[in-house]
Amino acid sequence: MSKQDAYHHHPELRGKIKPASDSFFRDLDIGAVDDHGAKAGFPAGWRTPCEEREAERRRWLEDRFDQDLWIFGYGSLMWDPYVEFDEVLQAKCNGYQRSFCLCDDGGRGSRDAPGLMLALDVGGSCEGLAFRVPREKIDQETFVLFRREMLIPVYRPVWLRLMTVAGPIEALGFVANHDHKDIKPGIPLHQQAEMIAHAKGFLGKNFDYLSDLNEHLDILGIEDAYVSALYNATAAARDQFR
């Protein structure tokens, strides 16, 4: 029997999601990450030790290795999942929403002008994409996933109940870790816009990150009033200083 088409529920998504083999994050070099952090002046212990991250992954998935695994993407994971999957579904998560509540003073910001990065935080709802990883690939694919998403403990893994065209599913997601100092919820939208408009770091301008998200949501046919409003407010803030 031929393998089922991963896009059989959503053929409109074909060609809009980067293959895992083409992703920079597929073979993320932790040694290179450490070297970059040292050159950037990051403090010692800025990232989660590999052994600690791996132990958490094993604990979290200890009863899940014998079944297929769904993973929820709400940001760049939607178009650059960097994991191999057998099926993709548009999915809605109630109780969590996109939020630029992750302060960034390195990659897309600086200590003098911190930027904001995306997280999934409590409240509202969020439409994204769910990817099904077959059971025989779970160990390798979750290793890749945790290496990227849990590099720094600004997120925490959770099990999310999602609604899809194929019915409800349970998926692994990564949400804002309120115990981490860099998670700062409740920043007013106009202040978020001002921060993003001016911030830049070694990965580039913060606005480019927001613009990329806004563009890809449109390409994927996903509406998010918050992201649209933040994008428009940030673009207006940038125009004021040109």
- Active site residue: 87, 127, 141, 149, which one? 149
Active site annotation includes 51: no
- The average pLDDT across 148-176 equals 96
Domains belonging to the chain, first-starting first, are: 11-185 (3.10.490.10)
Tens-place pLDDT, residues 93-122: 999 999 999 999 888 999 899 999 999 999
- The average pLDDT across 13-19 equals 95
Q: Are 200 and 102 in contact (CB under 8 A)?
A: no
Strands 69-73 and 167-176: parallel
Tens-place pLDDT, residues 196-210: 999 998 889 999 999
* CA dist., res. 99 & res. 79, Å (int): 18
Around Cβ 122, how many Cβ atoms within 10 Å? 12
Q: What DSSP string describes 75-140?
A: SGGGT---S--SEEEEEEEEEEEEEEEEEESSSS--SSS-EEEEEEEEEEEEEEEEEEEPGGGHHH
Tens-place pLDDT, residues 68-79: 999 999 999 999
Q: How far is CA 183 from the centre of its chain?
A: 14
Residue 16 Rama label (left phi>0; alpha psi -120 to 50; beta): alpha
Residue 86 has pLDDT above 50, yes or no: yes
Amino acid at 143: F
- What Å distances lie between residue 31 and 36, 83, 96, 130, CA to CA? 9, 21, 34, 30
Question: Does the global pTM surpass 0.85?
Answer: yes
Q: Are 82 and 117 in contact (CB under 8 A)?
A: no
* CA dist., res. 55 & res. 71, Å (int): 19
Closest CA to 202 of 29, 36, 75: 36
